[in-house]
Structure 1
Amino acid sequence: MTLGSHCSLQVLKGAKDEGFKTLLVCEEKRCDMYKRFKFIDSIVPVKNFEEIIDADFQTDLVESFNPILIPHGTLISTLDMAAIESIKIPIFGNKWILRWESDRVLKQQLMNESDLRSPVQLASKNEINGLCIVKLHGAAGGKGYFLVTNKKEFEEQAQKLVESKTIKSEKDLFIQKYANGVPVYLQYFYSPISNELELLGIDRRYETDIDAIGRIPSKYQLSSIIEPSYTVVGNIPIVLRESLLPEVYDMGERFVKASKKLVPPGMPGPFCIEGVYDNTAKFTAFEFSARIVAGTNLFVSGSPYSDLLYDVPMSMGRRISLEIKRARELSKIRLITT
């Protein structure tokens, strides 16, 4: 079971490939689109996703389908953490770590514990001196991010977000020194059953308008007032130089170890470490996502990395269902759900 958004198609296609019945909770306005796909066995329409926290709604789903909920970015952006943690339907992975993803202070604590090189964090707008990026808390697909070089620019952009009711106040913003480099998103899967970490794919995001600005000649950029945005519209596959892979695996292993220490039971299932490679091939991590990410949609038929591990097309969605199947066969479902 998952919500009709984000990466639901590959999640349910993967579940069907592993022999499961599939269930989609879908906003009414999108039901017609999802009815096109025959691997979706049942669609439960709702007016909005907030309905899933209703106790009677959950009871009906459990009695009718006995589902496991696969969380993704829409769940986090739609519901607050208390609501997610109150859900009685079994959730694949560790629902408690989603709070650490959504809170940038907790997020930085876990990244530090993982010994991930990360950008300098600024405690106040008064510390801004040079190029910085300002971000919102939570999973918003880059929405609301902006660049600043001084306190005045920060205040002007923050006020726009307050006026649009995107945020309540400046306190809802998080300031980092800008890390220059090629954006890279590392897609991992950790199995507590086998105690193995897998690298299943790598991508980068295509973001407006920051990526589109490069198509405008410089003289027109300088004469135009363009406030670059970072709203994600799609993803692009990447294959790294093979010499970089040892560090990629090391970072993932450290993250798994740190998550077990700080947020038991740790990080079962999919997660993503997000950052940039600079001109010395050093990786700076500025984010993590503690669940499946939309960049995995690139690899419904498998990626260059999953192909090295599996003899069948292995999307992240299918890998989740494979783990659930193994857990059921071994009576270890509690290892992978909360």
Structure 2
Amino acid sequence: MTAVATLGSHCALQVLKGAKDEGLKTILVCEKKRERLYKRFDFIDELIPVDSFLEVLDSKCTKILEKNNAVLIPHGTLIAQMSTEQIESIKIPVFGNKWILRWESDRNLKEKLMLEANLAVPKSVKTPKQIRRLTIAKRHGAAGGKGYFLTSSEKDYIKKRNQLIKSGLIKGDKDLYLQEYVMGVLAYLQFFYSPLDDNLEFFGVDKRHESDIEGLARIPSQQQLGMDYISSFNVIGNSPMVLRESLLDDVYQMGERFVEAAKRLVKPGMNGPFCIEGVYDQDAKFWTFEFSARIVAGTNIYMDGSPYSTLLYDVPMSMGRRIAREIKAATRQKKLDKITT
């Protein structure tokens, strides 16, 4: 029997609860400092304590996972804690496409894939000298919004960049990606693509709450002008959203184009969960500024299913449970290699 394993962070509880609901063994690779939290949940069958998540690469941890025929479910912490070379060197099966995580981590590759999918993407700004309007500076990788900042001139950019260098978050300009800022309603579109039956499912949509840019909005403008402060976009939590039904056809089309583009650019393509992230402008046009090529933390708000997964399944279907169901189907069909890398 195949087991499901993941790192103790991000959306581990959802992933392992979903696997247990599908009757699979669950394994958690857990930093020792967090053991107390995860021992509270009896749906976690086995806990592998580590000092660092990098120990997933060590032979001791690998042998335990191999013995259990484990499939590792990647999430944002994996990308944040490991280099792309380390992720690609993982020896046990990784659910989805571990090669596409390099494209998620590198914002230039990310932009290339989004444009290949014919998504509306805000214009990137190649150098600080070319900043002409409100622009957002982002760190590469899965930073969760930490270290992002808004700027509208080269002078302002340099000032804020230097503060981030001083804080140790970045080393220099090469660590930042500049993109024109689009105003509107933030929406994070959650999908699941199954290569077993070539089917795309729209699973849900969420909105992220970021600190302390949201807190800044509650401060009167006069006080804001007097502050010498870089606001942060660090993600603290998520809340559910439901879109106007008239927008759904376009949502599915965006997901389908993304899946096809991934097949062309980074084989075997975008298998499993992914998220297209952006903003709806005043004309209800969706501008895509990011994608996540794996399960996102916003799916945690739908552990009993979302309004959209309810349309597809007659049982509560979280993204974690959907992953487990895919693993079960692939194991039964002897096609595990089609959904893992």
- TM-score of Structure 1 vs Structure 2, range by shorter chain: over 0.9
- Are the aligned partners of 2:160 and 2:230 in contact in 1 as well (CA < 8 Å)? no
In the alignment, which residue of structure 1 is the partner of 2:318? Answer: 315
The partner residue of 1:7 within 11, 14, 21 is 11
Give identity over the alignment, percent: 59
The aligned runs of 1:1-338 (5 Å cut-off) are 1-63=5-67, 65-338=68-341
What is the alpha-carbon distance in structure 2 between the residues aligned to residue 55 and residue 128 of structure 1? 48
Q: Which amino acid in the other structure matches residue 142 of structure 2?
A: A
CA distance in 2, matches of 1:57, 1:39: 20
Deviation for aligned residue 1:165: 2.0
Distance 2:247 2:116 in 1: 22
For structure 2, the 5+ residue unaligned runs are none
1:84-112 Cα deviation digits (max 9, x unpaired): 00000100000000000000111011001
Contact 2:48 / 2:61 at 8 angstroms: preserved in 1?
Answer: no
Task: Tell me the distance in 2 between the aligned counterparts of 1:113 and 1:203.
Answer: 25
Kindly report structure 1 stretches of 4+ aligned residues shifted beyond 6 Å: none
User: How far apart, in 2, do the equivalents of 1:233 and 1:105 lie?
Assistant: 26
> What's the offset of the Cα at 1:220?
3.0
The alpha carbon displacement at 1:226 in A equals 4.1
- TM-score of the pair, normalised by structure 1: 0.98
CA RMSD of aligned residues (A): 1.0
SS in 2 for 1:167: coil
**Deviation readout 1:61-94 (Å, 9 max, x if unpaired):** 312x221000000000000000000000100000
Aligned positions, number: 337
Query: Secondary structure in 2 aligned to 1:215?
Result: coil
Partner amino acid for 1:43? L
Which amino acid in 2 is paired with 1:326? A
Shift, 1:50, TM fit: 1.1
- Tell me the distance in 2 between the aligned counterparts of 1:83 and 1:218: 46
SS in 1 for 2:202: strand
What TM-score do you get using the length of structure 2 for normalisation?
0.97
d(CA) in 2 for partners of 1:142, 1:265: 29
Does the CA-based 8 Å contact 2:10-2:77 persist in structure 1? yes
